[in-house]
Amino acid sequence: MTTDIELLSKKAGRQAALAEAGLADLPREADPAGRIEWVRLRPFFTGDDIREMCDEALLRGYRCISLPLPWAAEAASLLHSAPVRVSTAVSFPLGTSPQEAKVLETKSARMGENVDINVVLPVYRLAAGDKSGLRAEMENIREAAEGAVLSFYVETPMLDDEKIISAVRSAEMARADRVIGGTGVFGFPTIRDVALLRCAAPDWMEVGTAVESTAKGARLLPFLVAAGAGSILAENPPLVLGAPETEKE
């Protein structure tokens, strides 16, 4: 008998193949920059850095900027009436912080008005087969996040299909708003990885993916979108969007 895991794996394979062949339907949009979440998770910023980043995100039409917790609230204040959102990462990049620390960090992030919360899923629980512990942790984080937009990073380059699907289903049970393929620290999701996330997720849950800020990432961008990525997380969006060399400099 064919299992649900096998069915979803086959469906994802077909979706990825259609995307790579250019046969999958692409959403109609004027500018792919509207899918970009600009990720700058570095340990030091000045006030000028934050203002310049907010101004650039507005100018280029990005959907979101992602900053470490100490600066996310300031950026959200500067962008409070703008269409650009702000997010912050919890337990980045390993996801190995104690659950209590993640809950506390999530509550701190929630204090920043209009700050979305991206939490790194504890891969070690999946590796150990601790599905009940994984669900409980994610549900506790959802409770701590209250009404904030909550996403979970899923390190697809490190996981097989069964574990990826288990992660997505746990995120669904925790009422997460989005699952994100990879942090980029341990590699980047493939087109098939994104298709599997999309196939495993319910219709109401968004799928995002980290993408390499290189010419390769730029080439993959339309295929990742066709495979089901609603948002694209990148450290250098102009490179991913194929900006001219003079503009990149």
- Per-residue confidence band for 26, with pLDDT thresholds at 50, 70 and 90: low
CATH number for position 173: 3.20.20.70
Q: d(Cα 231, Cα 52) in Å, to the nearest integer?
A: 22
SS3 assignment, position 86 = strand
In a domain, 223, yes or no: yes
Tell which residue, 2, 7, 3, 71, has the closest CA to residue 200. 7
In a domain, 61, yes or no: no
In a domain, 19, yes or no: yes
Domain boundaries, position 158: 4-23+90-230
In a domain, 100, yes or no: yes
**203 Cβ neighbours under 8 A, 6+ residues apart:** none
Neighbouring-strand partners of residue 150: 117
Read off φ and ψ for residue 107, nearest 5 degrees. Answer: -65, -40
Identify whether the C-beta of residue 37 lies closer than 8 Å to the C-beta of residue 233: yes
Tell which residue, 107, 178, 174, 101, has the closest CA to residue 144. 107
In a domain, 72, yes or no: no
Tell which residue, 162, 237, 170, has the closest CA to residue 205. 170
pLDDT digits (tens, 9 = 90+) for 35-77: 999 999 988 999 999 999 999 999 999 999 999 999 999 999 9
Type of residue numbered 140:
N
Q: Is the model's pLDDT at 240 over the cut of 50?
A: yes
Per-residue CA distances from 98 to 70, 81, 120, 225 (Å): 20, 35, 12, 34
Mean pLDDT of 74-98: 94
In a domain, 63, yes or no: no
Question: What total number of domains does the chain contain?
Answer: 1
Identify whether the C-beta of residue 153 lies closer than 8 Å to the C-beta of residue 118: yes
pLDDT digits (tens, 9 = 90+) for 202-232: 999 999 999 999 999 999 999 999 999 999 9
In a domain, 97, yes or no: yes
In a domain, 163, yes or no: yes
Provide the percentage of residues in the chain whose pLDDT is more than 70.
94
pLDDT digits (tens, 9 = 90+) for 97-137: 999 999 999 999 998 778 999 999 999 998 899 999 999 99
